Structure 1
């Protein structure tokens, strides 16, 4: 019996460490996911994910597409599922990444299929029962060589069976500020949840955390035009700190890599306008509130064709940011035309309309004098929000969206909260 226990412990240790043999000596960030198949099955029991994957038929549709793709290369979707159901390691280094999948006895049968599906620009290699997929041949080679280390306390997180994945970064740099980062993703009975914490590693980092502390007297979320199903509230002491993060993390580069089907004119316009606003970040207070209503859009899309002409076919959005910036200055950074409606001057950005007065910059989805909105889920959301403790807050209420889309009465939310102190900034989120 004792020998059996020792064997099981060794087997567990080997399965936990096997994928980590591909961790390179140097990396910026990594993610390790264990037992993907079991955790994915558990995650699908969460009501919203069950509706999306099974009720809307997303899973069988994806399975069908994968089956028709891999069969061209002499593989089967069952073999691919076996590979994906095991463990995953993702290494990030600069702008490059490498994903390691396995172990699977079908790795050799899938290398040709995955190479063919991903096409040029991706590099695929087999190492034993593992497949490695990379955006860079250099990083791929470094991962095959291995030799890197992960702190014991990071891997020990897997002692909790609910943990699906861990995230770790030994060093994150924002200008001269240095951080480390640890995070987890877990599957619970009624929700998928995650936590990520960045830790200040030098005095510059501590100063940046200080700028992220919530300021007092934040009330923009009480604006009468805030409403809908999607809400974002920001309350930090210094808006410049958000601009530093935006520039350092190359979010504009990330947006440019959105698939062509999603890179609509509106997305490109938003990117340009956001960057323009960031150029003026030194004149902003660090307080903002945004909301979006999409249930009306779904209602319009689902209406009979002859009735769609009378339906609103665009989401209703509204945002307000604290800051003393004249309309002419905004025009210089954001472009557009200054117009007047009922004695109210506004900046027309072709689908986004902006006013600036009394220390507030406001963004509308329609001409300000014609704009109207409903509170929607606001009261429900505010019960989850603490403006004095949460520098960043995001909430999506799926209940009205699912009601319009499927006629179902389902209580489902995505909530992201945050907290900050002298040493760390923490983000917690859950989907239920």
Structure 2
């Protein structure tokens, strides 16, 4: 695995960064907009780490991650906890999308380990997940990322410690390319983040699209810590001509500013625009020029809309937080239940119990499998059947792990930005499971 060199932090800037991280995490933990009946971790609880982008362009997702994790913890604790003890979370900031995110993520992972966590949910990003892998393997602490989708994670030398409750972008790239072909797009230009997430998804889209006979006229990368002023990169998309469509593989703010540069491109007509899960948040709409993104389409992982576990999770989430669950929250919810059930099966509240028993929750091929659904009732069923072949069904779908700690299937939506009641919103056009 090749790691791109990052700008080094001076002692002064590193100290300032850590101080900022701690202050913002403290403020986030005091936010009463999240269900204030769900307490912070106490000394007699099992400590689980949560690595989330509390500051930076994905701060909104960090709030969703924490709210969802605490919801699952509350359900588990009310159902009896784990081996007689409750679980609680220590939240640390990865600053995903900022130029020091990988450095800070390693520091925060080590701090969680030093504070005695038995496992970690997160990080949210692929690059930060790869960056902390040597740290967690040195301490034998398992992690489950709900949103790190780079195919490169599958090949990590991680001693069976890196797991994901979301499918690899090897699937999403195929799904998106197939949608392009279905929409009779014959040529594309791709602009993408130069990081594990952007590189992996760009390669997956390119390979599938070219296999189907499509032409990739340009593939323009930009530094992952760049968030504005994309006129140069956008102009490079059109050096060899104007393609049928542009595929944007970005996060929220960088993606919105790419839209600004597209508006300034002085083309008679813009090509069709397609995005990915990194654009599938309301903050992207709010920061983008409306005349450019209206009609934009894209792909995103999601739970099957008719899946009962997702419907139950969605109803609970809406009742608590007065909004539909954002992308990846269902995978956060599943990750908490995976950690709790792995310790319950192992009979001890330890990192080793999590590591050794996560795969034992995937027994779809067993003739005697006991189906266990996430949620309070399903958790109670699992506790009553410890020792049996448990097969966990998550809110995001079936959870069947392969030898790399990856789930073996994913569900995706193809979305479009449309106008509804005078506002731009995401609307699902179709969805599909893969493979």
TM-score, normalization by structure 2: 0.26
| Greater strand content | 1
Whichever of the two has the greater Rg, that structure is 1
